[in-house]
Amino acid sequence: MGDARNSIRDTLRDAGLAPGGELPPLILVACSGGPDSLALALAASFFARRGDYRVGAVVVDHRLQPDSAAVADSARGKLEQMGLAPVLVRQVSVPESGMGPEAAARTVRYAALDAVVEELGADAVLLGHTLDDQAEQVLLGLMRGSGTRSLAGMPAVRGKYLRPFLGLRREQTLEICRHAGLDPWHDPSNRDPAYARSRVRTEVLPFLEDKLGPGIAEALFRSSRILSADADYLDTVAAQSFEELRAAAPAGSGTDSEELLLPEAQLRNLAPAVRQRVLALAALSLGGSQPSYERLAAVQSLLRRTGSAGPVQLVGKVSVYRQPRAKSVHHGASSYGNLVFRKKSST
């Protein structure tokens, strides 16, 4: 419990939320009724009793299990017994979509949490993800062949969402619940082999621990912290480089245009890791979606061509082609060798 309280205290202070004052900051705990979030709520209640923070909770009922309403009501009762206030239950409907059930549930869950934050004027929401969750996230990123940002796992701080338990093991949250006499709910989907995350949790990580020895989860967590720092730095450098290249673009290309030109000579001079991020930023600036690794590789291949080349189609109706030197461009300006990002008009 001491580790749990210290983690919450440090995370809140790192987020700039100082304790106390005439009206202490309002902190909400996102609670499913499971061991991680119940342990988080119990540890956070300590700061409410001391008057450091006002601590409430939100229980999101996804209505995916037959007894979900009873589970949510039970969680609310436990949270109120801890002294948390207010404790709100929000029911959501998880739509059938192409993003998959886990992603769809996550989307509506965060929408419900966002609404409560705005309704109550909350300063932060605590999430109960643990070191084990982070290790699973890194393995899933490896399976997808994702980049540095994905392998960095879940951030400890993202806006008002804080994850103070990323340095704690799942077994520690179970021990906190046992010691406090709490009877947490165990989500059956966490052991459902239909979900990749469940297979990583129940099969892959135990297999790695068995074959390679203990400490795999901790090693994956350390890797995520290193990669997170690397990704933050590269993203900062890429954002600066993108602004510099956009400023050097020919007249007629800008944020209000449906066409963006980036000088190819300067693009070639960028480090590959930075160049890839700059190209993604260009697509995003025109309203496109984050391009896949394969699509970005296709865009970068345009820089190895001579003469005009392309277009490469990206998600979000954005296309990219190479405009050679001295050829006129869409807005009539003279080109000096550019990659042209063009957003297809919706009209």
**What CATH number has the domain bearing residue 324?**
3.30.465
Do 70 and 12 fall within a single domain?
yes
Do 279 and 134 fall within a single domain?
no
Domain-located, residue 90? yes
Residue 262 near residue 278 (C-beta atoms within 8 A): yes
> Given this model, what pLDDT does residue 161 score?
98
Q: By percentage, how much of the chain surpasses pLDDT 90?
A: 74
What range defines the domain where residue 43 resides?
2-227
Do 306 and 201 fall within a single domain?
no
Domain-located, residue 311? yes
Domain-located, residue 254? yes
Do 56 and 134 fall within a single domain?
yes
What whole-number distance in Å separates Cα of residue 262 and Cα of residue 241?
A: 11
End-of-domain residue from the set 196, 227, 258: 227
Dihedral sign, Cα of residue 85, residue 89, residue 95, residue 99: positive
Do 79 and 173 fall within a single domain?
yes
Do 178 and 281 fall within a single domain?
no
Residue 253 has pLDDT above 80, yes or no: no
Domain-located, residue 239? no
> What are the counts of helices (DSSP H) followed by strands (DSSP E) for the chain?
13, 10
What whole-number distance in Å separates Cα of residue 161 and Cα of residue 11?
A: 11
**Distance linking the first and last C-alpha atoms of the chain:** 59
Do 298 and 217 fall within a single domain?
no
Average pLDDT over residues 188-208: 92
> Model confidence over 128-155: pLDDT tens digits?
999 999 999 999 999 888 788 889 999 9
How many domains are contained in the chain? Answer: 2
Domain-located, residue 223? yes
Helix, strand, coil percentages in the chain from 3-state DSSP, rounded to 5: 50, 15, 35
Do 172 and 210 fall within a single domain?
yes
Q: How confident is the model at residue 256 (pLDDT cuts 50, 70, 90)?
A: low
What whole-number distance in Å separates Cα of residue 39 and Cα of residue 56?
A: 14
Average pLDDT over residues 165-172: 97
Do 155 and 122 fall within a single domain?
yes
Do 13 and 78 fall within a single domain?
yes
Three-state secondary structure call for residue 30: strand
- DSSP letter for each residue of 127-150: ----HHHHHHHHHHHHHHT--HHH
* CB-based burial, 223-234: b 16+ in 10 Å, e otherwise: bbeebbeebeeb
CB atoms within 10 A of CB 196: 16
Q: How confident is the model at residue 95 (pLDDT cuts 50, 70, 90)?
A: confident
Backbone angles phi, psi at 172, to 5 degrees: -65, -40
Tell me the whole-structure pTM to 2 decimals: 0.85
Domain-located, residue 85? yes
What whole-number distance in Å separates Cα of residue 305 and Cα of residue 290?
A: 24
The CATH number of residue 160's host domain is 3.40.50.620
Nearest to 189 by CA among 181, 198, 180: 198
Residue 199 has pLDDT above 90, yes or no: yes
Annotated binding site for ATP: 32-37
Q: How confident is the model at residue 61 (pLDDT cuts 50, 70, 90)?
A: very high
Do 157 and 84 fall within a single domain?
yes
> Given this model, what pLDDT does residue 252 score?
52
Do 26 and 112 fall within a single domain?
yes
Annotated binding site: 32-37
Average pLDDT over residues 163-188: 96
What whole-number distance in Å separates Cα of residue 320 and Cα of residue 311?
A: 5
What whole-number distance in Å separates Cα of residue 323 and Cα of residue 309?
A: 7
Q: By percentage, how much of the chain surpasses pLDDT 70?
A: 93
